[in-house]
């Protein structure tokens, strides 16, 4: 059975209860909020890694990733080699007025060129100003936290293993070249000393008869 005024009493009870609680008002922008470091604020672009494969633009459900590019011919690395062509990024923009922060573009990027950044202060008065170009997306990379350290017991990633082996090979090659250079320098030095000794020996040989005859002469006279 409905008791008259029950709803009013409940409402007043809630009011009284919350009146005695401490408020949790955030004084933003005077005080910055303490967000978890991996907050999904916005999408940042590591341009160096982007190969303009267009996967992110194709997979985005909102079609809000805009990419323009052109092809460039790279001359052959060795004489007689084949010229290559590569994509050069002209424009990379994301319309954050359309983006629904699903993260699909980040997940599908095969070259680790897109990252979540905790940045969130990009509000604009005009909706058109929410399209952020590559310069801004690149700047946001500064706010992306470093990846967590690998588990020490984890298997070494293939890329790291390949890079380590290449670095070891290069170091060995450099050491071998340095050893060859050092041996050549020692040989050249020895040859130079040999020339000096030969010249000294010839000089001594030229002077030898006079000096060797002297004692005999001395002996004869004595
Ligand atoms: S987060 Fe989702 S909606 Fe936003 S750009 Fe990436 S794929 Fe598109
Ligand atoms: S998926 Fe990655 S590499 Fe491909 S265009 Fe997008 S950001 Fe660039």
Tens of pLDDT, residues 200-221:
666 666 665 554 444 444 444 4
Strand 131-132 and strand 84-95: the pairing is antiparallel
For the chain, what percentages of helix, strand and coil (3-state, to nearest 5) are there? 45, 15, 40
Please say whether the dihedral angle defined by the alpha carbons of residues 187, 191, 193 and 194, taken in this order, is positive or negative: positive
Q: How far apart are CA 175 and CA 169, in angstroms?
A: 10
pLDDT tens-digit series, residues 101-122: 999 999 999 999 999 999 999 9
Say whether 109 counts as a known binding-site residue. Answer: yes
Pocket of ligand 2 (CB under 6 A): 50-56, 67, 109, 111, 113-114
Structural domain boundaries in the chain: 27-147, 163-209
Q: Is the pTM for the entire model greater than 0.75?
A: no
Say whether 64 counts as a known binding-site residue. Answer: no
Cis before 29 (ω within 30): yes
* Ranges under pLDDT 70 in the chain: 1, 195-222
38 near 53, Cβ under 8 Å?
A: no
| Distance from the alpha carbon of residue 43 to the mean position of ligand 2, in angstroms | 12
| Distance from the alpha carbon of residue 54 to the mean position of ligand 1, in angstroms | 13
CA nearest ligand 1 atom 8, residue:
60
Q: How far apart are CA 86 and CA 51, in angstroms?
A: 8
Q: What is the per-residue pLDDT for 218?
A: 42
Strand 65-74 and strand 114-117: the pairing is unpaired
| Distance from the alpha carbon of residue 221 to the mean position of ligand 2, in angstroms | 105
- Whether domain 27-147 has CATH 3.40.50.2300: no
């Amino acid at each position: 059975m409905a008791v008259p005024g029950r709803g009013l009493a409940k409402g007043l009870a809630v009011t009284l209860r919350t009146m005695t609680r401490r408020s949790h008002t955030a004084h933003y922008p005077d005080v910055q909020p303490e967000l978890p470091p991996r907050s999904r604020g916005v999408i940042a672009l590591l341009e160096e890694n982007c190969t303009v494969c267009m996967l992110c633009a194709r997979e985005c459900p909102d079609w809000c990733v805009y990419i323009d590019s052109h092809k460039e011919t790279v001359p052959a690395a060795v004489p007689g080699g084949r010229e290559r062509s590569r994509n050069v990024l002209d424009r990379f923009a994301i319309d954050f007025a359309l983006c629904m922060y699903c993260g699909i573009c980040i997940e599908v990027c095969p070259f680790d060129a897109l990252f979540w950044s905790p940045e969130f202060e990009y509000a604009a008065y005009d909706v058109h100003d929410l399209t952020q170009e590559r310069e801004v997306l690149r700047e946001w990379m500064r706010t992306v936290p470093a990846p967590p350290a690998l588990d020490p017991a984890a298997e070494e990633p293939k890329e790291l293993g390949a890079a380590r082996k290449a670095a070891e090979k290069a170091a060995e090659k450099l050491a071998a070249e340095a050893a060859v250079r050092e041996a050549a320098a020692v040989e050249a030095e020895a040859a130079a000393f040999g020339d000096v000794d030969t010249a000294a020996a010839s000089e001594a040989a030229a002077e030898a008869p006079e000096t060797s005859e002297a004692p005999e002469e001395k002996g004869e006279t004595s």
